Structure 1
Amino acid sequence: MADLSLLTSFVRAAEHGSFSAAARSLGVSAAAVSKNVAHLEAHVGVRLFHRSTRRLALTGSGERFLAQVHEPLASLDAAIAGIRDDPDEPSGTLKVSMGQALGRNFLVPLLNEFLERCPAVVPDWHFDNRRIDLVGEGFDAAIGGGFELAQGLVARELAPVHIVAVASPAYLDGRPLPQQPGDFAELAGIMRRSTPSGRVRPWTLRPRRGGVDQPVPCRPRLILSDPEAISLAARQGLGVALVPMPFAFAHIASGALVRLLPGWYSDAGPLSLYYPSRRLLPAKTSAFVDFVVERFRTGGFAKLVDGR
Structure 2
Amino acid sequence: MDLIAAFKTFVRVAETESFSAAAREFNIGQPAVSKQIAALEDHLGTRLLQRSTRKLTLTDEGMEFLAHARDAIAATDEAIEQARGRRGRVAGVLRMTASASFGRMHIVPRLHLLGARFPELRVDLVLQDRLVDMVSQGIDLAIRFGEPREPNLIAKRLGTMRMIVVASKSYLDRRGRPEHPEDLKNHDCLVFGGMQDTDQWSFTKNGKIIQVGVNWRVRADNSDALRQAVLDGLGIGMMPSWLFPDLWENDELETMLDDYEKATMPMYAVYPSRRYTPAKVRAMIDFLEHEISLDPTMTGGIGLV
The two structures share one fold, judged by TM-score above 0.5:
yes
Counterpart position of 1:64: 64
Q: Partners of 2:207 and 2:50 in 1: how far apart?
A: 52
1:261 aligns with 2:257: yes
Which 5+ residue runs of structure 2 have no aligned equivalent? none
Q: CA deviation at 1:233?
A: 0.5
Counting aligned pairs with the same residue, the percent is: 31
Q: Matched residue of 2:10: which SS?
A: helix
2:237 alignment counterpart: 241
Q: Which residue of 2 aligns with 1:36?
A: 36
- Candidates 191, 201, 204, aligned match of 2:201: 204
RMSD of aligned alpha carbons? 3.5
CA gap of 1:85–1:91, structure 2 versus 1, over 3 A, is: farther
Cα distance, 1:253 vs structure 2: 4.7
Q: Structure 1: state its 5+ residue gaps.
A: none
Matched-pair contact (CA < 8 Å) for 2:199–2:215: no
Equivalent position SS for 2:252: coil
Q: Deviations over 1:212-260 (max 9, x none)?
A: 5x53212221221101110111111111222122113423652333223
Alpha-carbon distance change, 94 to 61 in structure 1, aligned in 2, over 3 angstroms: closer
Match of 1:273 in 2: 269
**1:110-259 counterparts in 2 under 5 A?**
110-145=110-145, 153-194=153-194, 201-207=198-204, 210=207, 214-251=210-247, 253-259=249-255
- Determine if contact 2:163/2:263 at 8 Å carries over to the other structure: yes
1: CA distance, partners of 2:30 / 2:112: 41
Query: Normalised by the size of structure 2, how large is the TM-score?
Result: 0.80
Deviating more after overlay: 41-50 vs 221-230: 41-50
Cα deviation, 1:248-275, whole Å, max 9, x if unaligned, reads 34236523332232133223x3222233
CA offsets 1:193-222 (integer angstroms, 9 cap, x no match)? 21xx7x67343323266555x532122212
User: Which TM-score applies when normalising by structure 1?
Assistant: 0.79
Which residue of 262, 267, 286 maps to 2:282? 286
Whichever residue aligns with residue 203 of structure 2, its letter is R
Q: Which moved more, 1:76-85 or 1:158-167?
A: 76-85
Q: Measure the CA separation in 1 of the matches of 2:39 and 2:216.
A: 58
Structure 2: how far apart are the matches of 1:85 and 1:200?
Answer: 54
Do 1:162 and 1:244's aligned partners in 2 also have CA atoms closer than 8 Å?
Answer: yes
Q: Which amino acid aligns with 1:129?
A: D
Aligned partners of 1:130, 1:252: CA distance in 2, in Å? 30
**Any conservation in 2 of the 1:164–1:245 contact (CA below 8 Å)?**
yes
Q: Could you tell me which amino acid in structure 2 is paired with residue 272 of structure 1?
A: Y
Moved more, 8-17 or 60-69: 60-69
